[in-house]
């Protein structure tokens, strides 16, 4: 178990109201995410949760802070805080980082953009660096947000760091009604080998049960535990993951070639295909020459509109013995 709860003395409701979750710090790096829907109004309960547990990294969405709220107003002892405020009406992200977690941390401003507003690098002894990415995607956002996130993930892929991407994405993989966001999010996760960890609702109302608070990881084989915590602080449940050491596996890298359709315009592609010199194809003396000519001309156009990419993929075999 990730957290120990003494159920002999407390009912479930008592436990939830007291936020009595005890994370076992020796099990690995603990990361928790919560859409808190206004930090100032719920700060005392949130502070109680943090001070009574050993959570290493806490990512908050919808903090709804502005420059009239100082860091001292939302300070928790023995935790550093990073903030990206929007206004008191909505938005905003924050991270609380445990100063006694046995790791170093710093903001990676060089990787952040308007969508992934906060990226913090975590360095633990004798392990690969981890980047914790905070993402809040508003409902009905433009599809271009996925391109921005993809650009950031491409940068991270080039430096080969581990990824924990966490936040309220306002997209429900449990819903039978698939949307354009469904396809785009699945494609994004698959392209960068990111695994979504949950299959139970994270927001429950009288009329709906949705899974909209997510954690994605690039190293699922390092996860000791993960789950959904119903803290009662917000109308969203908290989500968590514990990252331990890599499990013993035999791993070898393979590479696959795919195409980048990020800027693909089907109308321009068709136009360029129509503008090819098809008379030379008709002039070919045999079928083999015609096929060779067509393939060469087609690839020239295809490579211009959807350039080929070489991506690494993993083949993992469980070790025997």
Task: Identify which of 180, 245, 187, 189 has the alpha carbon closest to the alpha carbon of residue 214.
Answer: 189
Q: Where are the domains of the chain?
A: 12-246, 252-318
- Cβ atoms of residues 160 and 190 within 8 Å: no
12-246 homologous superfamily: Endonuclease/exonuclease/phosphatase (3.60.10.10)
The two structure tokens encoding residue 4: 């120990």
Per-residue pLDDT of the chain (321 residues; tens, 9 = 90+): 333 333 333 333 333 344 455 555 557 899 999 999 999 999 999 998 888 888 999 999 999 999 999 999 999 999 999 999 988 888 899 999 999 989 999 999 999 887 787 999 999 988 899 999 999 998 888 888 999 999 999 999 889 899 999 999 998 999 988 888 888 899 999 999 999 999 999 999 889 999 999 999 999 999 999 999 988 899 999 999 999 866 555 555 566 677 888 788 889 989 988 888 888 888 888 888 788 888 888 888 888 888 887 666 655 444 444
Q: Tell me the backbone φ, ψ of residue 57, rounded to 5 degrees.
A: -135, 130
Residue 168 burial (CB count, 10 A): 26
- Cβ atoms of residues 74 and 43 within 8 Å: yes
Alpha-carbon distances of 104 from 122, 156, 264, rounded to whole Å? 6, 19, 41
- pLDDT for 12 equals 31
To which H or E segment does residue 114 belong?
Answer: none
- pLDDT for 23 equals 57
- pLDDT for 217 equals 96
Looking up tokens 């960068």 gives 192
Task: Identify which of 188, 179, 111, 117 has the alpha carbon closest to the alpha carbon of residue 146.
Answer: 188
DSSP state of 184: H
To which H or E segment does residue 287 belong?
Answer: helix 287-305
Residue 176 burial (CB count, 10 A): 5
- pLDDT for 251 equals 52
Task: Identify which of 187, 178, 182, 164 has the alpha carbon closest to the alpha carbon of residue 57.
Answer: 164
Q: Angle 162-237-178 (CA atoms, 0-180°, nearest 5)?
A: 75
- Cβ atoms of residues 95 and 67 within 8 Å: no
DSSP state of 1: -
- pLDDT for 227 equals 92
The two structure tokens encoding residue 5: 């709860």
To which H or E segment does residue 119 belong?
Answer: strand 118-123
Task: Measure the CA–CA gap between 189 and 257, rounded to whole angstroms.
Answer: 17
Q: Tell me the backbone φ, ψ of residue 190, rounded to 5 degrees.
A: -65, -40
The two structure tokens encoding residue 30: 């603990």
Q: How much is the pTM?
A: 0.71
Q: In what order do the strands lie in the sheet with 104-107?
A: 104-107, 118-123, 130-134, 162-168, 213-217, 195-196
DSSP state of 237: P
């Amino acid at each position: 178990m990730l957290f120990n709860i003494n159920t002999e003395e407390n009912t479930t409701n008592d436990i939830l109201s007291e936020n009595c979750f005890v994370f076992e710090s020796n099990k690995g790096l603990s990361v928790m995410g919560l859409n808190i829907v206004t930090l100032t109004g719920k700060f005392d309960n949130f502070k109680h949760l943090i001070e009574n547990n050993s959570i290493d990294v806490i990512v908050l969405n919808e903090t709804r802070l502005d420059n009239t709220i100082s860091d001292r107003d939302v300070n928790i002892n023995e935790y550093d805080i990073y903030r990206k405020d929007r206004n008191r009406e909505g938005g905003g992200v924050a991270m609380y980082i445990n100063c006694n977690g046995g790791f170093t941390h710093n903001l990676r401003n060089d990787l952040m953009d308007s969508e992934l507003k906060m990226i913090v690098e975590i360095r633990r002894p004798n392990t690969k660096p981890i980047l914790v990415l905070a993402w809040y995607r508003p409902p009905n956002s433009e599809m271009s947000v996925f391109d921005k996130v993809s650009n950031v993930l491409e940068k991270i892929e080039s430096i080969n760091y581990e990824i924990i991407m966490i936040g309220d994405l306002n997209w429900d993989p449990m819903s039978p009604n698939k949307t354009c966001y469904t396809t785009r999010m699945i494609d994004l996760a698959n392209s960068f080998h990111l695994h979504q960890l949950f299959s139970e609702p994270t927001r429950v109302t009288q009329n709906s049960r949705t899974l909209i608070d997510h954690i994605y990881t690039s190293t699922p084989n390092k996860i000791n535990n993960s789950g959904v915590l119903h803290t009662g602080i917000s109308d969203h449940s908290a989500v968590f993951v514990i990252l331990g050491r890599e499990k013993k596996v035999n791993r070898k890298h393979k590479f696959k070639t795919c195409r980048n359709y990020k800027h693909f315009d089907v109308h321009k592609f068709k136009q360029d295909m129509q503008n090819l010199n098809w008379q030379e194809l008709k002039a070919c003396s045999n079928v083999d020459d015609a096929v060779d000519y067509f393939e060469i001309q087609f690839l020239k156009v295809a490579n211009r509109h959807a350039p080929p990419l070489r991506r690494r993929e993993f083949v993992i075999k469980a070790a025997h013995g």
